[in-house]
Amino acid sequence: MSDVQETIAAISTAWGEGGVGIIRLSGPLAIEAALGVFHPASKAPLKERYLHSGLVKDPSGAALDSALMVFMKGPRSATGEDVVELHCHGGPLLLKRVLGEVLACGARLALPGEFTKRAFLNGKLDLSQAEAVIDIIRAQTETALSSASGRLQGTLGRRVKQVKDGLFDLLVHLEAELDFPEDEIDGLPREGVLEALSGAGVVVKRLLLTFDEGRVIRDGIRALILGRPNAGKSSLLNILLMEERAIVTHVPGTTRDVIEEVVNIRGLPVRLMDTAGLRETGDFVEKMGVLAARSRIKDAGIVLYVIDASADDLGEDLANLEGLRDKKVIVAVNKTDIAGAREIPALCRFNAVHISALTGEGIEALKDEIYAGAVGHPYMSTPLTAPSGELIVSLRHKQALERALDGIERASKALDIGLPRELVATDLRSSIEGLGEITGETTTEDILDKIFENFCIGK
């Protein structure tokens, strides 16, 4: 864990040319270090939370840039410490130079995520909110952004705290009974404790049920497009992307390499992978493409297997599908504009959707199937299984909730079969600790370091 008595600084805007570049400082010497570089245009006293214009100068007094400065005194700041921002023009060389001057004035370079980590350590955010910051930055769809924004506003943290506080109240009463058995302390009735534990368990289970959906909304899913040559795989890629990304011809074997693009399907970031047609070939380059296609199968969350509905013989397709029995497979029966939506008895045991990648027929139904295959339930116009901020998106949260649920269920069983209340109290403590891991109250330093090292420098 870093020394929070040190003043840290970093470029907070994305690297590269831009209209504005921001250098952020946080810590006890933030204002002093900033004023070692920034020279206000006015001699009037600086006001907190006001933008002040001036010049950024090097030690010789030469002006480097016209800039703005704003400062926030702790604890009324994002990190809970004194915070200063220097708003310069967004040139990479300029920002690097100004940052160097700031570091020479007593600050040190911030570690990845250190500003957000200090906000957590100073009680400005709970850990679930801090983790939501990086999810907002990386959100690829509106649904992912809504989920992360809800968590940043504390929706998940409040729900977890509500359950944890209820369990803690039970624990306090149980421990009072155990510590002062000779006193006349009103004990909690067994039925009341069981009811409270049942209610807590319901909430935790409901949160756990959102994990499959939440994980895919945040991280996305890989969808591999497979099929024989000229089945319409590249045409399907193009219509899902709504652009001509892949070359489409009537010549079999046109696609040689794997083409990857991310598309928003029903709020999910789906990485589509168009591949070479599956067939035996003597062409060396095409053969490499077929091998590349097959090598991607194990990492695919969903396989979109495209079949030419106008083909007379589907023997090779059926053999290929048999080899995909351990994968989530959606069969896209393509070219219904030519063959019509004829039933193919051999495909009855597969999840098949009739489409035309040329006219767009059936594409919306295919998107619904992709969504259902990814999250495990049908698509609805309001797709979230819970308020967006209460979606569980990280494995860390899921595992913490599972530990909490295990403690609740063990406590209920112990109470139900009449085991000593000391054992019930032990299980309650375990459950409370699990919930505290989500908000950061019982999280180890190693876990904190691992979480924040995934952040960018300056955040």
154 and 112 in a common domain: no
Give the pLDDT score at 298: 86
166 and 56 in a common domain: no
Coil, strand or helix: which one is 57?
A: strand
451 falls within a domain: no
CB 20 within 8 A of CB 85: no
Q: Which H/E stretch holds residue 321?
A: helix 315-322
200 and 252 in a common domain: no
Give the CATH number of the domain where residue 135 resides. Answer: 1.20.120.430
Residue in this structure with the two tokens 């109250």, named with its chain if needed: 441
Cα radius of gyration rounded to whole Å, the chain: 29
- Total domains present in the chain: 3
386 falls within a domain: no
Give the CATH number of the domain where residue 247 resides. Answer: 3.40.50.300
Give the CATH number of the domain where residue 46 resides. Answer: 3.30.1360.120
> Which residue, 167, 156, 221, 168, is CA-closest to 398?
156
Last residue of a domain, one of 80, 96, 125: 125
Last residue of a domain, one of 348, 375, 402: 375
262 and 370 in a common domain: yes
pLDDT values of the chain reduced to their tens digit, one per residue, 459 residues: 445 589 999 999 988 899 999 999 999 999 999 999 999 999 899 899 999 999 999 999 999 999 999 999 999 999 999 999 999 999 999 999 999 999 999 999 999 999 999 999 999 999 999 999 999 999 989 889 999 999 999 999 999 999 999 999 999 888 877 765 555 445 677 888 889 999 999 999 999 999 988 999 999 999 999 888 888 888 899 999 887 775 555 545 555 567 888 999 998 999 998 887 776 665 666 667 767 777 778 888 999 999 988 887 888 888 888 888 888 999 999 998 886 766 777 778 888 999 998 899 999 999 999 999 998 878 765 545 555 678 999 999 999 999 999 999 999 999 888 888 889 899 999 999 999 999 998 888 888 888 888 888 878
CB 316 within 8 A of CB 339: no
229 and 347 in a common domain: yes
CB burial readout 360-394, b (16+ within 10 A) else e:
eebbeebbbbbbbbbbeeebeeebbbbebbbbbbb
| Residue 56 lies in domain | 8-125
Q: Could you give the CA distance from residue 410 to residue 416 in angstroms, rounded to a whole number?
A: 10
216 falls within a domain: no
Peptide bond into 75 cis (omega under 30): yes
CB 396 within 8 A of CB 135: no
14 and 101 in a common domain: yes
Neighbours of 264 (CB within 10 A): 14
32 falls within a domain: yes
136 and 113 in a common domain: no
450 falls within a domain: no
227 and 358 in a common domain: yes
263 falls within a domain: yes
Structure tokens at 66: 């016209």
332 and 233 in a common domain: yes
329 and 268 in a common domain: yes
Exposure of 59 by Cβ count < 10 A (0-12 exposed, 13-18 middle, 19+ buried)? Answer: exposed
Give the pLDDT score at 256: 53
362 falls within a domain: yes
In this prediction the pTM is: 0.80
414 falls within a domain: yes
Last residue of a domain, one of 89, 108, 125: 125
308 and 252 in a common domain: yes
Torsion-angle region of residue 27: left (phi > 0), alpha (psi -120 to 50) or beta? Answer: left
275 and 184 in a common domain: no
Q: What are φ and ψ of residue 412, in 5° steps?
A: -65, -45
